Amino acid sequence: MAIKRNEKILRPEPLKGRFITVLFCMGAVFFALVARAAYIQVIEPDRLRYEGDLRTVRVSEDRVQRGTISDRNGVELAVSVPVQTVWADPKRIHEAGGFEDRRRWEALSEVFNTPLPQLLSKVENPERRFVYLERMVTPAVARYVRELNIPGVSLKEESRRFYPTGEISAHLVGITNIDGRGLDGVEALYDSYLTGASGQRRYRRDGQGRVIEELEVTEAQLPQSITLSLDQRIQAHAYRELKKAVSYHQATSGSVVVVDVDTGEVLAMANSPSYNPNNRNDLQPHQIRNRAIADSFEPGSTVKPLVVMQALASGEYDESSLIDTRPGWLNMGGRRVQDGKNEGVLTLSGVLARSSNVGTAKLALEVGIDELLENYYSVGFGTDTGTALFGEAFGQLRHRNRWSDFEVAALSYGYGLSTTTMQLAQMYSILGNGGVRRPLSILARQEAQEGVRVFPEELTRRVLEMMQAVTEEGGTGVRAHVPGYSVAGKTGTTRKAIAGGYGDEYVSLFAGVIPAHDPKLAIVVMINEPGGDSYHGGTVSAPVFSTIAEQAVRVLNIAPDRLQGERVRVAGVSVEGQP
């Protein structure tokens, strides 16, 4: 018989400490999750959106080309052309085994003309996602890169600036850098007008690449094109003749400016030496210098018409007045003013024709320094010409309380002040248009800008009549003569200043207007430091003026005003003008 015993059943009793610990941990985890969610949603929600946008949001760009620069007749001077740029994604190159075939990289370095170690160093960092390998390659190189098919190496379309006229218009048009920003000339001056802004389209796409939402669309801002006042036909001829003269006379440099006297538009502005903006591999800093506006020099005898004008304005002189220049020199306070030879007694016209320093000095001392300086200021010496081009020099025109007689005399024949070729062109355009000063313009104008009258029209007409003697028989500028046209001009030859005085180098000048009876063009030629024994303005610069002026009047269909007794060419046939 079984004996029943009272046995105590043992059941596990929960440990109070463990329960609390577990409960606390679960609460802490829950609290951490809630806190993290609150932090993400409330305190820093943008980061999560950013991470999501990286995966789903894409941006496409609507690129715009830089605006075109053209001359007054629509000839393109600067255009943008599409080109390919080679770029790489270093991260993808490392992940996709882009370095496995080293021969491809050797071929790439050879076509880029870049050492292989230098090329590989650009893509050695796997954290980078974009790096340029070669900017703006030729179509043949782009095709070769595409055929190499290197993982992570791709092509990107960009635009490159191309200058159809090359070195002919380089200084005025200017250049851009590799990113299309203007560095010099019109490219820099009107960079914001020419640039425009690319359009953008931001959209969201799903995992299959389908567009599910348009987020933002920014319309492209089209660039503006610029029409210059330049006439490329005149510009090309001026550059060729200037380059030829600089080379022939073994000169250091030279400049030519052609201005429409009625509107103040610059029709040509050429410099030598120049440079090819499409090939800058061997470009030197001195080649970029726009010497027509940046190089200042003493203008010499080219300012003598202003002295004669002031003498006429005083009422003490007229066309029949005689100036005794004998014996060909004049002593002033221990200094000497002299002519090349004894010119004897001259009329005012003769003073200009023979370029007499003695005659001009006597006139200046009679009219006074204040009136002389006023004339110089009136034509724009010592200030800008209005072109607004970067690097324009103002020249130098000092004003003193006391002037010696010799300083007044020197100022009358163009020493003791400095001007640029562009400033001289403005002076002669004022003489040519009847005494009205207008700002010069490198942009084409629909109509002439209103100017300020600085000289009476009758006075300028009388001076122009006298200046014609310079280019006629017996004048110093006879080589500036243009068949069939009257020319009013003035030669100039100045010694270049050095420390302590003047050296043995010269500046050769000729400035004038054509036709003299109804001026349309003002042309200035400057040849800097011509070599050899020929350095005078009448022998070096005057012939350049003649050839440029002859071509310019033909291009612009300016009617001849002096056919009598002249031999002119009509349709390739030389004929003798009849009275």
Query: Which helix (H) or strand (E) is 323 found in, with range?
Result: strand 322-324
Taking every pair of Cα atoms in the chain, the longest distance, rounded to a whole number of angstroms, is 174
Please pick, among 301, 349, 356, 418, the residue that the annotation labels catalytic.
Answer: 301
Tokens for 490, please give them: 């003035």
Q: Which of 194, 162, 170 is nearest to 80 (CA)?
A: 162
DSSP 385: -
DSSP H or E run through 293: helix 291-294
- Helix-, strand-, coil-residue percentages of the chain, each rounded to 5: 35, 25, 40
CA-based nearest residue to 222, from 194, 182, 264:
194
In the block, tokens 């806190």 appear at: 35
Helix, strand or coil for residue 275? coil
Residue 412 and residue 361 in contact, taking contact as beta carbons nearer than 8 Å: yes
Rg of the chain over all Cα atoms, to the nearest angstrom? 38
Q: Residue 130 has which token pair?
A: 């974009």
**What would the DSSP string read from start to end of 388-447?**
--TT----B----S---HHHHHHHHTT-S-BB-HHHHHHHHHHHHTTSEE---BSB--SS
**CB-based contacts of 108: which residues, under 8 Å, 6+ apart?**
119, 133, 145, 148, 150, 153
The DSSP code for 532 is S
The tokens of 145 are what? 């890169």
Cβ-based neighbour number of residue 187 at 10 Å: 25
Q: How long a stretch of residues is the chain?
A: 579
What is the pairing mode between strands 567-570 and 131-137?
A: unpaired
Clarify whether 301 is annotated catalytic.
yes
Catalytic residue numbers read 301
